[in-house]
Structure 1
Amino acid sequence: MEYIESIRALEILDSRGNPTLKVILKSSNGNISEASVPSGASTGSHEAIEKRDGGTRYLGKGVQEAVKIVNGPLSELLNGESLFSQEKIDRMMIQEDGTENKERFGANAILGVSLSVARAAAKASGRPLYSYLGGLRARYLPCPMMNIINGGAHADNSLDFQEFMIRPIGAATFSEAIRMGSEIFHALKMILKERKEITSVGDEGGFAPNLKSNEEALELILEAIKKAGYQPKTQVTLALDCAASEFYDAKTKKYLEKKKKNQNQTFIQRTAEEQVSYLESLVDRYPIDSIEDGLAEEDWEGWTLLNKRLGSKIQIVGDDLFVTNTAFLKKGIELMAANAILIKVNQIGTLTETMEAIELAFQNGYGAIVSHRSGETDDTFISDLAVGLGTRQIKTGSLSRGERISKYNRLLEIEAELGESAIYSDGNRY
């Protein structure tokens, strides 16, 4: 049985130029496996906590303490453990940390170790990571949710909604879905240029123009879909990540156009019911089939209303609401607050807990969407995770920026490896 011989960590930079961790694991047969840890900008308040150094170095965002934790306590705890004891190893780290939110060791330190163990075990088994994670069921290529206009915390523009996405549901294969997305992305760039709009991109690779409204962004995307030669709704649908916690005023319990307010422009504010009605009107007017974080994470009543009004028509996705945590997901299931969960490995901090969240979602008829973070690396673990666990959906950014493209390229490799057994999903598990 192959075992962990050594674990060490290195401070590297993520796609925003902020420090993060790379964990390097050496197994008893001499193989080396690595995993790099992402970081979010728009984060749920209940996410597992990253270990950051504070102080002035890297503006307080250094991870030297997390590196020391990997190289010291975690390495000492796990050296000699079998590579194939994933759940045991993850539980050992959780127990040794001893806090509810991984505050002592840091979710970034724990996650880097957890993912590197899985990679090492896959390598030792002689199987691709997706096959090691999922076995025979690992043959569904996920429908990509491509973020082609950025707003919110991911862009310095006037849009409070964080992501405007396309879903190429009409593709026959994953590679065709990528081609469709790329063509629409470049069509959108041409349209923006013609209108003398900004064509610089945000954190996740989508364009970040200063637009007057969410509707204007949706109209531009529809125009790009048609310009690229595709049919909205039947071939390509739209999806939103509102990230509503970012523009929710807890004191007044209102949703407001915060960016316009901060720029001393006329802004709109809405109650929870008005926010639900607004989202419903967008679904009626545009081919939107998925809305993520349409309401704030603490607004459970609003979420229940949203799911009641739209849950039978479209996908209602909880991200900040659930933070890949089974305790919050169970509450959402009981309250009928959504019908899908966004899966981010660093929100919870171990592979075992991530897989438990996906399994609980599937057991209760929820969809699951494996997702990147806005602060990414070129690590492609989530591509294998989406295929391995058959989530049939992935959200990993636009058709630009290398840290986003690396995930798509890995999925293209997986599709080629699977050959005729590969099945492209339109995003519907059922």
Structure 2
Amino acid sequence: MEPGGRRLERRRQLMGPRQEAAEYYRGHGVPQRMEDALNALFPLRPADLYGELANYFSKFSKAPVICKLVGRKVLDGVGQPTLEVEIYCTVKNYEKRICSTVISSHSQIPEDALPGTTEADEKERMDSVNTAVEWVNDSLNTLLRGLEPTDQCKVDKILGEYYTKQAEEKKEIQKQEEEEAAEVTLALTSCISSATALPVGKKAAKTGKKVSVAESVIPPAEPIESVLRGSLAIGGTSLAIAKAGATISHIPLYLHIALLKHDQDLPKEMTLPLPMVTLLNCEKIPPAKLKFAKEVMLIPPVQLSLKQGIERVLDIQKELMRLLESPGKVQSSPQLADSKKGKAQNAGKKAPPRALKRISHLGCLITGYDSLEQLLLLMQTACSNLGLELGTDMYLGINCAAHELMDYGKGKYEILTGTFKSPDEMVDMYVELINKFPFIIALIDPLRKEDREQWNNICCALGSKCYLIAEDAATHISKLKTDQNINTPRCSGVVLKYINQTKVSDLIELTGLLDGQRHITILGSPDGESSDDSLVDLAVGLGARFVKLGGLSRGERVTKYNRLLAIEEELAKNSRLREANLEFVAFAEESQPEEEPSDVLPPPKQDVLPP
């Protein structure tokens, strides 16, 4: 320990001439302006000077590079295994953890799957996640080491090449297995051919007479696209690299994505996507009969801020739950009672069923209905009780999920229990539905993706009044783009989900193509969502028109709405927020290819709505 005098002397030496002079003159009553003059003469302390020099030379230091990737198995919002990817970078010669991301698993949650099917799905999911963890910790860790996290294109190119190589190897293995199985089958067939030979004169194709005419008319369902085991590693790593690039650049992820999409030219203003908030999940619950409205969503008007829109949705949700607890209070709505048919139905209409005491994995209430008008009556009553009007103060969207309704034996959609309609009759039903209830501004998957002729018809009839959106047809993003075209039925837009081998560059390229073809982009969360909120930044950065995040419940859903609110506040503070708009596409005004049917539709039938 130094003596007091020597310690004071050393302190004065370290303080430098500015501090020493200032203390001396301050003790002798020097005015404040003299101290200010001394500060001007000696502006920096030695420590400050060293800091300035360090900052200056750091500009010439090597840019941060990826030094390690860590993959691990974690749980998603419904307790299923999925993948987390961590990024470590070398920053100024030190290894530093930059960020991590969790990607959602590809498998969807079956509502009425058999126990054996569920077990097989769970095993496949587990194997896929384990393979993805191996890819990240082994191959991808080696391939990406030394690359800059800000070079997203180069990283995604390497990831794409690796995925293609793994897919080709998988095909070769499957081809060998099929050849071996064919040889075994041929040997067995030759041994028992005499025992299974048909009697002379017996017609082998007799069973074919049972096939109905309607079944041969509708296009068959496209085969389910197989998911390569381990493909989660590609999407998870690409998104983690994007987050690392944003962190290194000291900007939010949505700005980093916007810069990537616009070639480093940041837009002066950005528009927030409108939320499609799922209010009800209409399961197939006996004795409820309604099948073709899987999700009912609320869409706030554009004149409200996001915060105001979310608050209004919450008010409607609370009122709706109150009505479901006391169904006798639901009164007839004037709009639904105007039609002759509506008067007769409303007179003897049953009260809405009581809501089940459980929340869907989508973060909303689960209940069931006997008819669509029963559901719309409840929605209108809830809004009226709050002094709101559907079509002005709030809009509706319906996820029809038509691919789940097709009865291939009859060749028709089962919209109600025991009520079937052909694809053409479905178009007529939707035309009358939107004309009668114009506050429904979005229909998701109103038809199967295979019914392309009917998609064309419904777009020509309703494109200027309603968004007709494909979600099931857009599950595999890598299959959507074909030679600067979108491989989907004719529609207003698509729902994109960041799953499996999807890369950030794929989303950027695809949304640019959709923008150029007047399609709207919707970023949607999958069923097995995680608490990672990167999806919201992707939606804002890519300029999506809507974002479909589920309901205002469950932590993995609410955290994304909170992130959207935070981005709105930040953009408004920086004067970068631009008001959204609702513009429909008038498909009938566009020129049609020769092979497509005419835009002119026959007048809709009178009794096409489900009773």
**TM-score class, shorter:** 0.7 to 0.9
Aligned residue number for residue 263 of structure 1: none
> Could you list the runs of 5+ residues in structure 2 that have no partner in the other structure?
1-62, 110-117, 169-224, 260-265, 328-353, 586-611
Take 1:299 and 1:133, find their aligned partners in 2: how far apart are those partners?
A: 35
Pairwise CA distance, 1:250:
3.9
After the TM superposition, which residues 363-378 of structure 1 pair with which residues of structure 2 at under 5 Å, given as runs?
363-378=516-531
Could you say which residue in structure 1 is the equivalent of 2:243? 119
Separation of aligned partners in 1, 2:284 and 2:462 = 26
Aligned twin of 2:174: none
* Contact persistence 1:66–1:109 (CA under 8 A): yes
**Which residue of the partner structure matches residue 5 of structure 1?**
67
- The separation in 2 between residues aligned to 1:316 and 1:330, in whole angstroms, is 21
Aligned in 2, Cα 1:23/1:215: closer, same or farther, shift over 3 Å? Answer: farther
Q: Which residue of 1 aligns with 2:125?
A: 61
User: Structure 2 matches for 1:344-423, cutoff 5 A?
Assistant: 344-346=497-499, 349-418=502-571, 419=573, 420-423=575-578
- Superposed, which structure 2 residues align to 1:98-113 within 5 Å? 98=164, 99=167, 103-104=227-228, 106-113=230-237
Query: Structure 2 CA distance, aligned partners of 1:274 and 1:322?
Result: 24
**1:235 positional shift:** 1.9
Distance 1:77 1:234, change over 3 A: same
Measure how far apart 1:274 and its partner are: 1.0
- In the TM superposition, residue 315 of structure 1 has moved relative to its aligned partner by 0.8
The one of 225, 236, 252 aligned to 1:128:
252
- Tell me which structure has the larger Cα radius of gyration: 2
Preserved CA contact (<8 Å) 2:449 2:489: no
SS of aligned partner of 2:550: coil
User: What TM-score do the two structures reach when normalised by structure 2?
Assistant: 0.63
Alignment coverage as a number of residue pairs = 413
- Give the one of 570, 576, 580 matched to 1:425: 580
Specify the code of the residue in structure 1 equivalent to 2:554: R
Shift of 1:322: 2.8
Deviations 1:241-291 (A, max 9, x none): 11111122345431114xx6xxxxx42111101111122222122211111
- Report the CA distance shift for 1:144/1:224 in structure 2 as closer, same or farther (over 3 A): same
2:389 to 208, 211, 231: 231
Conserved in 2, the CA contact under 8 Å of 1:42 and 1:153? no
Identical counterparts, % of pairs:
28
TM-score by length of 1: 0.88
Displacement of 1:151 in angstroms is: 2.8
User: Following TM superposition, by how much is the alpha carbon of 1:176 offset from its aligned partner in structure 2, in angstroms?
Assistant: 0.9
Quote the offset at 1:31 in angstroms: 3.6
Distance 1:393 1:247 in 2: 25
The C-alpha deviation readout for 1:317-375, integer Å capped at 9, x for no partner, is 11112336375466986887112111211166111111211111100111111111111
In the alignment, residue 447 of structure 2 is paired with which amino acid?
Answer: L
Identify the residue that residue 173 of structure 1 maps to in structure 2: 305
What stretches of structure 1 move > 6 A for 4+ residues in a row? 54-57, 153-157
Residue 280 in structure 1 maps to residue 431 in structure 2: yes
1:139 to 249, 270, 292: 270
Listed one character per residue, the Cα deviations across residues 20-48 of structure 1 (whole Å, up to 9, x for unaligned) are 111111122214211111246659xxxxx
Code of the aligned partner of 1:124: I
Q: Which residue of 2 aligns with 1:48?
A: none
What does 1:216-365 correspond to in 2, within 5 Å?
216-257=374-415, 266-286=417-437, 287-323=439-475, 325=477, 328=480, 337-346=490-499, 349-365=502-518
Residue deviations 1:202-255 (CA, integer Å, cap 9, x gap): 121121112112332232222222233322101211111111111223454311
- Larger CA deviation: 220-229 vs 64-73: 220-229
TM-superposed CA distance for 1:127, in Å, is: 0.4
The answer to whether the 8 Å contact 1:143/1:427 transfers is: no
**C-alpha contact (below 8 Å) 1:129/1:384 kept by paired residues:** yes
- Alpha-carbon offset, residue 421 of structure 1: 2.8
Q: Does residue 72 of structure 1 match 2:138? A: yes
Opposite residue 187 of structure 1, the aligned amino acid is E
Output the CA distance in 1 between the equivalents of 2:551 and 2:286. Answer: 13
Distance 2:509 2:584 in 1: 17
Change (3 A) 1:325 1:106: same
1:147 is aligned with what amino acid?
T
Aligned to 2:600: none
Matched, 1:21 2:76: no
Determine whether 1:188 maps to 2:320: yes
Q: Is the 8 A contact 2:355 2:365 kept in 1?
A: no
Q: Say what the alpha-carbon RMSD is for the aligned residues.
A: 2.9
